[in-house]
Amino acid sequence: MKLSDKSLNTFLFAIVASFTIFLAIYHVGIEHNIYFWDSNGYWRFWQQFGSNLFVEPANAFLKLASSIKNDDYNLLPVAITSVFYMIGGEDRLAYILSLSIMYLLPVTILFSMLLIHFSEKRTFYWKVITLIFPAKLVAFWAHTLRGYPNIAGLIFIIFSVIYSIKIDLSVKLDIQKAIVLGALLWAPFLLRRWYAYTIVSLYISLPLLNYYLYKNNENSFKKLINIAIFFFASIISTVLLDAFMQLNLLLRIANPDYSFIYSAYQSSIELSFYNILHDIGLYLLPLFFFSIFISIFVRKTKKDYLVMITSKN
């Protein structure tokens, strides 16, 4: 009996969810206590917010609102997962499971959806591969198992990419969709401050991605103008949401002299160029130039555009 697409997707989701839960439980079971005390800050915040939510829920949400408005790294990522505190208590297993299920699992599913959207073949085996690949990425697991909610913003990053490529944005200006995209691209910064760099790069790359995916030889300049207006409206919504919710944080970010703060990491152009050659190796330079040639002159598929745009982020 052949499974329907819905039954197949449910089955694959159950497998990935089971793998995620198993790996989280297994890791916590073999983890040595001495290693997680240096990175227990968010776990402690989670415990404090969860216990306060039981005793003084109004006070807990007031502290959350204050944290969002003022803190560089606010309590929202762990507040979202506090439902696991109510179910499983304050121990570390409940905390790591909360991060794995609430953040890592959705990132895995959305990553798979993004790959499938750009795939020309959507067989059962390819769906399995697109789920296995992100579910096993060390970059996703390393911070999660240490207790950091770092990948929380990726949920909105990946979803914003999927949302912005579903339709041709150059045909008709849809302010409602622009506002929704603006909110999606603000959410990562709300969860983790350093996603600001990714948001800026996405506001540069997403318009180009949408244009190249739906481009044709008719009215190209008009299409570019329509896309530019759409993303300008989206930027305005992002800025307004940020100013409304995190004004104190924005003012604090705008004031420091970043050139002085990062002066220890600066080097001359000559030294930077030498380090690039040293780290990459001269033998890879021909491949680098060849890949640029291919990306410009060879006919490209949808997935090629995705690779090109994401590599710039």
Tens of pLDDT, residue by residue over 120-163, are 777 778 888 888 888 888 889 988 998 999 999 999 999 999 99
For the chain, give the percent of residues with pLDDT over 90.
37
pLDDT by residue (tens digit) across 255-280? Answer: 777 677 677 777 778 887 887 777 76
Q: pLDDT tens, 151-192?
A: 999 999 999 999 998 888 888 888 999 999 999 999 999 998
Task: Determine how many CB atoms are found less than 10 A away from the CB of residue 287.
Answer: 10
**Beta strand segments in 122-179, E:** none
Residues in Cβ contact with 224 at an 8 Å cutoff, skipping those fewer than 6 apart: 170, 211
Q: Is 113 or 307 the better-scoring residue by pLDDT?
A: 113
Domains of the chain by residue range = 1-150, 153-255, 267-313
* Longest distance between any two alpha carbons in the chain, whole Å: 66
